[in-house]
Every structure is written in structure tokens, then in C-alpha cells.
Structure 1
Amino acid sequence: MTERSEADGRRLTTRETAERLGVKPETVYAYVSRGQLSSSRAPGGRGSTFDAAEVDALARRTGRREPAPGEPAVRTGITLIADDRYYFRGVDATELAARYAYEEVAEWLWTGELRPGTRFTAPEQAVSAARRAVGALPVHCGSTDRLRVAVVAAAAADPLRFDLSRETVLGGARSLIPALVAALPTVGGREHGTVDTGEPGASSGLAAQLWPKLTARQPDEPSLAVLDTALALLIDHDLAASTLAARVAASARAHPYAVVSAGLGVLEGPLHGAASGLAHRMLAEVLERGGAAPVVADHLRAGRRVPGLGHRLYPGEDPRARTLFGLLERVPQAGPALAAARDVVATTARDVPLHANVDLALAVLSVASGMPAEAGETVFAISRTAGWIAHALEEYGERPLRMRPSGHYTGPRPPQPLPSP
């Protein structure tokens, strides 16, 4: 028989509860077994029912719920987040990132096809324009400032940027990402890194090109593996704030470079891309002071959240952090930073059961590799560019300007008299 809600509307069936939470029915019963949700037998003993208010409260805690009536919703086939895991086009993202390079995962996200050995290439014209523009900035500018300027310069160098056909957009994306990396200054004043032209002997991939832009230390294979995996893991994460901005731009039929600019503008906010920098500074202080306890206490005393902990979409462990911590254990110089991160988690877990998130894992990589605090933000921005392009491609196939909400006016009711000078 088909399950139905009780007449008063306050009880939900298992199917309705699963839909509202955005999970499978089996997960609903897992919540019950963990004590996170209570159930009652439906009349007649067929199936269980759940209190709607309790379900909505759980949805708010886990970040999973169906949109309320009238609330904007975006249908997407790119990323699914469910049950403390996330998937790129239905495939476990952590497994993709563990097996394939960043460029290969990006191609999967864009096309749904796996192309082993894919490497992105940057035309010299785009690289030259981006480097000249970035070189004109004040020396104190951050990496996101440089990336925003580099995107504008690369766009100006591409006469095909207004062509929104799928193949042209993809061709531009494959050249834009390595051009952004090439435009960043090399740490320590060495010559610019080699741009991957696809010729024999060229750089082995984007991670190897990005590394000298982040630190003067020579990379080893385990460290490059962490960076490449981080790039692959961060490509997309459903409708994060920067991705929503990118989709709004694409809805207005902005070209892909403008879409990326919109994403970068939001990414620079302290509540989004810059979070790993806060975690970096915290870890550095933990190492300097010899333990997490005084550092955590200072954060809490000042009314600040402890950086690098918890994620609204993962009640349990952030799968991106779990993957990166596993790889960081193979990097010898990461030992002290890893221990500091675990000390932070253990210290805060005495009162609040929060898990490490990807920002803390990026901070371990940056601290251990002698990178600046903004390195995680740079990795995030370069990686997420591919995700913004994936969402732009999806949005270009939708009705134009569909993301146009109506404002709920709360000002003085007209007619009002003209203001006096």
C-alpha cells in the first residue's frame, strides 16, 4: 500500500520524511536508531510516522531539507551531498579525487566522461595578458586580488568569450585555469613556472604548476599528491554562496570569464574562501604556544568560533578533511601540524562534538609546507573555477534570467511627500 500522511498534517510518512531531509528511507531509520529522530507506528501498524516539526528541526541541523513553498530551488545534476558523503555526477567524489588528477575530475564534472591523461593548456596570449595585469598591482595585494585581475585580462584576450556554445565554453575553461596559475607570482622571486603546453617534457599537471606559486620549498611526491587531491576535492560543493553567484551571472548570460569573476567576488568573503587562512593562523599559534588549550580558550573568550571545525552539511566528519588527513600522514614534515590539528579537535570535543572540516586540512598542508596563510584560499579559488564553469554550462541550458526573486518591500508606504533639502 502507498503510505499516506495522517489527516492533521503534523505527521509524515517515511517517504515524506526522506524527501524532506533529502536522504534515503534507510537513512531515516538510521536517524531513529541514533536517537536523532523519533517515530510512531502508523494506524493499522503499516510503516512509521514522524513529527513534522522534529523532522524540520533535524533538517536545519543537518543542512538537508526540501525547499519551502516559494523558496528558490535549483535543480542540478552536478553534486549531491548526503549521509556525510558527496558525489560528482553520482560517483563518490573522494574516490574520484584519490584516483584521478584534478584536470581529469574537472572533465568528468563538465562532460560526464572520464578522460585519463587530460592536461589543461594555456595560450601564451592569455598568459601574457594576465601576467602583465597582475604585475601592475601593488605588491601587498592578495592572491584573490591577482586572480580577479587575471580573469579580466584573460577575458580581454579571448575574442570568443561571448560564444556560449558548450565546446567553446569548455575550450575557454581548459585554457583559463592554467592561465590563472601562470599569472600568479612565483614565491621567492624565481622565474615563472612552465605553462603546460601539452608537449613532451611539460609540467605533469596543474598541481605541479601551482606548487611554486604557494611556497619556495621544493615539493616531494606525497606533498604534490595532497595538493592535487585537494584541488580535485574542492572543485564543487553544491550551491555554495560563490556557486550561486556564478549561476546568477550565467542566468543573465554573462560569459564564462564573468561567471568566474562573480564567483571570485563572493569567495573573498571571510565566511567562505578565506576560512582556511583563519585555521592556518590558529595552527601556527598552537605550534608556537605548545598546545591547543590556550589558543582555543582565547578564541572562545573573544567570542570567536574555533576555525576549521564543523560543517552545516556534515553532521559527522567532512569527507574532504578525512581524505586529506589520510594523505598528510604520508608527508613527513606534516607531523607537527597534524598533531596540532588533532589537539584542536580533541580540546574542543570535550564540550562540543565538532569534527575537522576541509579548512583545517588545508591549514595543515599550508603550515607544514611553509605556505602563507592565504594559500588555502588560492587552492580553493583555482579549484572551484572548474565547478563554476560546470554550473554555468548547466545554467546556460535553462530559461534566461530565471533567478529573479521579488523583493518584499518593508519601507514607508507611498505616497510620501517629496523630501526637503
Structure 2
Amino acid sequence: MTDHEAGATAARESRRISTKEAAELLGVKAETVYAYVSRGQLTSRRGPGGRGSTFDPKEVQALARRNRREPAATSAAHELSVRTRITLIEKDRYYFRGVDAVDLALRHSYEEVAEWLWTGVLRPGIHFTAPPEPAGSARLAVRALPAHCTPTDRLRVATIAAAAADPLRFDLSEEAVVGTARTMIPTLVAALPPLRSGHRDGGPLAGRLWARLSGHDPDEASLRALDAALALLVDHDLAASTLAVRVAASARAHPYAAVSAGLGVLEGPLHGAASGLAHRMLMEVLDRGTATPVVAAELRAGRRVPGLGHRLYAGEDPRAEALFGLLEVVPKAGPALAAARDVVATTARHTGLHANVDLALAVLTASCGMQAEAGETIFAVARTAGWIAHALEEYAERPMRMRPVGQYTGLRPPQPLPPEPEI
């Protein structure tokens, strides 16, 4: 190294600051500075002589500015707050990028609504197409599963197989992720086994999905209701599965892995599987001819009546209201609609709960010759588009920010080593 180069290096190092100075600029303890380094939010370098760490003051100041703009949630709130421009839920309505979500779903196809979420641009007539190679890999993987697998099992396996067939999945640029989304969703649908022989995929996604959910040919009204259900369910703010997706995206997991994280959470009975419980309840009401004994049995068992109430809406779930309206003109939906109204009226004698989208989905699946698990499939396919929208948003944020601090409540150290088991 020349004297000039050595002097330049020394000058650069002299402009760097110590851990103590970085902590003072950030208003935190030294331990927190090292936590920022471990999360990738700061870059450290060993000081002259290998003693201590040094930091770029501009990088530290930028982090301090971000922290001032994003104050940590107060301990009293115990809620994780995440900035988003995707969905707003307000006064018993919900909006996608500021536009009424129900109006969008009733006027546009699922694919068009998905494009709106991802890009802020409506593309009339757009259809998503599954490329042959990942679709073939996903079909083979799903075909190898046992017959008793759940829809979410199949979709999770299809997602992993499609990822393995996509060597460019690690490109997290916005253009690449949107391109991946346009092929991933139809690939997941194509991986599900059709229920009608001789079916050929083509046209809107709702028609391709119908062939995996029902063995009957769809009438126009039923297919329209399915497409609207997909569009209505695209996103719903930070539901549990969506939060899981954002955590994965924060760690820079590729889109397939982020979607897989969402599918893992979705399978719970309080989330994506809730419509199946409502479907089984409706079928029992139809079998008995009245909701009273069915509702009574649920209450006697200490269970909530499926398909009723939503913590974000004081009145009726707007997604249910819209879907019920479309189901009014579905030829075979009359009995299931009447059963759903009977459930709501029976329960209303004791509580003010309204129908939610799970009950509306149950009417759709029960009316169209679908199995109870069909609602879970509809929910998962629909929500994949919303998960991608949230992943896109999270990729634009600083990495590893979704890292809450645990509140340790265990024994205080130091504790003795546990005793050796007797042999």
C-alpha cells in the first residue's frame, strides 16, 4: 500500500464512529446496536488494530431517521403495527388501494383485481397462464400424496414443487415477483386434480378452479359467484396468514416460500378452514329441515356457531353481503340460502352476530355440488394474490424488521445444570 493509499484509508476510518457514539446517535444501548448489525440494519467494521467495531455515521443517521418515523408500538398496545397501502378496513367496508373492494369484485375478474393489488393498474381481460414445466412438476408432486390429504396440503406441496422448477425464484425485483405471481397462481390450480374427465384448462382462472371443485358443469351465475368470491377474498389486511407472509418476506424469502408460510397458517380451523365447518353445519340444517337443533348442539358443546361474526365488522361482513346477492340468482342455491338465513335468525335470538364470508362460502359450495373442503381451496387460491401484494410491499422495506422482542418469563439465570438421568 502506498503512503497516499494508507493516508486515504486512515482518513476514511477517522470518519467512522465507535459503538458508543452509534448508540448515542440512535438513543439505544450498545447491545441494541449489535442487534441492528445481526438483523442486517447496520454494517460494522473492526476498528484500527482489530479492537472494537466502527460504523458509517451516515448509515447510523439514516437508521435513526427511520426509527423516528416508525416508533415502536407501546407496551400497552401489545399490537404489531405495519404500514401498508394495500387494504383499508373502515366503517364496515373495505378498500383495495383506496377503491371499494366489493365494487371491484362485482365489476372485475379475480385476475384483474389481483393485478390492481400488485401494480395499481387494471388490465381488462387479463388471464394468468401456468408454464408447462412448473405445472408438470406440481402435478406430479400432488399426485404422489395420499388421498386423505387436505386442500392446503396439496397447495403447499404444489408451491414447493413449482419453486424447485423455477431457478429464477430468488429475483426479488418488483417486475420479477409480479411475473412469478402471474404464473404461480394458475400453477397451483393446475396442480389440483380435475373432477371431470376430459377437462381442458383455458379461459378465466375461476373456470379452471371450478373443474377442481365440482363434477358438475357450471352455469353462468354459479361461475360468476365463484369468480367474485375469489376477488372478494384476495386480501383482508393483516390476517394471521398475511402476517406470516410478511415475516418471511422480511427475511427475504422468495415468493414461493412466502406463500408457503401463509398456507401453513391458513390451515387452522379459525382461518381458512372455517368455511368447511360452516358447510357441514349447513348440510346438517338441510338434512334436518331446521336450524334450531343444529345451533343448539353447537352451543351445548361450547362451540361458536360457524359462519357468524367478525371482529372487524360490527354489522354484516361486506364480503358475505356481496356474495349472498350473487347467490340469489344461482339456480340451485335457494335451499342453502334459506338454511343460512335460518341459522342467522335462530342465533339472533341470543346474540347480535351477523353472517360472515365463511357462511356465504358455505352456501356457494353446498349449492354447487362441492365438498366441504372446497371453501378452503377457494380461500387459499384467492388469498395467494394478496400474499404476493404484501410480499412486494415488504421487499421494499428494510430487511429483518419483523422481529419483535420476546418478554422472557422463565427462571432467572444462573440456574444449575439439570441432573443426569439415572441409568
Paired with 1:70 and 1:262, the residues of 2 have a C-alpha distance of 23
SS at match of 1:86: strand
Instruction: Say whether residues 1:157 and 2:156 are aligned partners.
Output: no
CA–CA distance in 2 between the matches of 1:194 and 1:144?
A: 23
Once the two structures are superposed, the pairs formed by residues 127-142 of structure 1 within 5 Å of their partners are: 127-142=135-150
Letter in 1 for 2:298: H
Secondary structure of the residue aligned to 1:121 is coil
What are the Cα deviations for residues 3-34 of structure 1, in whole angstroms up to 9, with x where unaligned?
A: xxxxxxxxxxxxxxxxxxxxxxxxxxxxxxxx
Gaps of 5+ in 1: 1-64, 196-202
Question: Which residue in the other structure is 1:334 paired with?
Answer: 333
Alignment of 1:13-24 (within 5 A): none
The equivalent residue for 1:178 is 186
- Counterpart secondary structure, 1:87: strand
SS in 2 for 1:332: coil
Match in the other structure for 1:225:
224
Cross-structure match for 2:274: 275
CA distance in 2, matches of 1:404, 1:225: 41
Q: Which amino acid aligns with 1:79?
A: T
Structure 1 contact 280–366 (Cα < 8 Å) conserved: yes
Deviation at 1:71, TM superposition (A): 4.0
2:86 to 71, 78, 82: 78
Q: Which residue of 2 is the match for residue 260 of structure 1? A: 259
What amino acid maps onto 1:143 in structure 2? P
2:125 corresponds to: 117
Aligned to 2:213: 214
Go from structure 1 to structure 2 and tell me whether the alpha carbon gap of 1:82 and 1:171 turns closer, same or farther (over 3 Å shift). same
Alpha-carbon distance in 2 for matches of 1:167, 1:129: 24
Q: Deviations over 1:104-160 (max 9, x none)?
A: 000000000111111101100011000000011111111111000000000001111
Cα contact 1:282–1:295 (8 A) shared by 2:
yes
The answer on 1:99 being equivalent to 2:104 is no
Normalization by structure 2: what TM-score?
Answer: 0.81
The number of residues matched between the two structures is 348
Q: Are residue 126 (structure 1) and residue 134 (structure 2) matched? A: yes
Alignment map for 1:21-420 (pairs within 5 Å):
71-188=79-196, 190-191=197-198, 193-195=199-201, 203-420=202-419
- The 3 A distance-change label for structure 1 pair 317 and 66 is farther
SS in 1 for 2:332: helix
1: distance between equivalents of 2:338 and 2:355? 13
Q: Matched residues in 1 for 2:277 and 2:410: separation? A: 38
For normalisation by structure 1, the TM-score amounts to 0.81
Shift of 1:68: 5.0
Query: How many Å separate the matches in 2 of 1:82 and 1:369?
Result: 32
Deviations 1:159-190 (A, max 9, x none): 110000011111111001001001001125x2
Shift of 1:317: 0.8
Describe the shift of the 1:140–1:116 C-alpha distance in structure 2 as closer, same or farther (beyond 3 A): same
CA distance in 2, matches of 1:67, 1:154: 41
Contact 1:246–1:392 at 8 Å: present in 2 too? yes
Provide the identity percentage: 73
Shift in CA distance, 70/296, structure 1 to aligned 2, threshold 3 Å: closer
- Tell me: CA distance 1:367–1:71, structure 2 relative to 1, closer, same or farther (3 Å): closer
Q: In 2, Cα distance between the equivalents of 1:84 and 1:69?
A: 23
AA matched with 2:396? G
Deviation at 1:402, TM superposition (A): 0.3
What is the rounded CA distance, in whole Å, between the counterparts of 1:211 and 1:67 in structure 2?
A: 47
Displacement of 1:221: 0.2
SS of the aligned residue for 2:94 comes to strand
Post-superposition, which runs of at least 4 consecutive aligned residues in structure 1 deviate over 6 A? Answer: none
**Aligned residues of 1:186 and 1:213 also touching (Cα < 8 A):** yes
CA RMSD of aligned residues (A): 1.3
